[in-house]
Amino acid sequence: MSELFEFSDDREASSAARVRALEALLIEKGVIATDSVDVVLKHFETMAGPFNGAKIVARAWVDPDYARRLVEDTPKAIAELSLPLGMTGAEGEHMAAVANDANVHNLIICTLCSCYPWPVLGLPPYWYKDPVFRARGVREPRAVLQEFGVQVPATKEVKVWDSSAQIRWFVVPERPANTEHLSEEELAALVTPESMMGVALVEAPAG
């Protein structure tokens, strides 16, 4: 993985420290209240996050008819599941799913800013907003994917989907091999936000 997209403990710790400092300053200045911060954090812990997307993907893996409906009419298909947030809330309007398969690998970006389907993926990672990532994702998606550790065969097409205020995409990754014995809940535990962005593959559990 290139230095641009490398996940560093020091960088993450530094970002977390800046967030805490900014939060403290905003509270001190009266811009936000402590209880407001708690409400937002609770929302993303219990209502909107990648656990929603993982449940959607797992259902698509075990139910081919649902997988078809999910791609054809994403809002309607998501409404079939008992999710805490469904299609509403910040960044949740106009979501649409695309599915990876043996012939196509999908990559999600946002060339204009950082539109992102929060209800199913949670908050976007810092690199998703990086203008270099956004530009290279369009120009050379295979190279970008390779830097994330995703080797896409030359025989497989790479499609890039540009999220916007009008439509926010997410990926249904391919189900890993040798997972036929796993329950739907166990399958959901394998799904990561990165796999639903197209920058990672879902790995089967060891053993």
DSSP at 128: G
**113 carries a ligand binding annotation:** yes
d(CA 24, CA 26): 6
Task: Look at the block and give the residue holding tokens 């800046």.
Answer: 18
What separation, in Å, do the N-terminal and C-terminal C-alpha atoms of the chain show?
A: 26
Query: Contact, 92 vs 117, CB < 8 A?
Result: yes
Q: Please give the distance of CA 8 from its chain centroid, rounded to a whole number.
A: 19
Instruction: Output Rg (C-alpha) for the chain, integer angstroms.
Output: 18
d(CA 76, CA 87): 9
**115 carries a ligand binding annotation:** yes
d(CA 201, CA 194): 8
**110 carries a ligand binding annotation:** yes
Is residue 113 part of the annotated active site? The answer reads yes
Q: What type of residue sits at position 196?
A: M
Is residue 183 part of the annotated active site? The answer reads no
Per-residue H/E/C for 83-125: CCCCCCCCCCCCEEEEECCCCEEEEEECCCCCCCCHHHHCCCC
Is residue 2 part of the annotated active site? The answer reads no
Candidate list 2, 8, 15, 113, residue with the active-site label: 113
Is residue 82 part of the annotated active site? The answer reads no
- Summarize the annotated binding site for Fe(3+) as residue ranges: 110, 113-115
Residues known to be catalytic: 110, 113-115
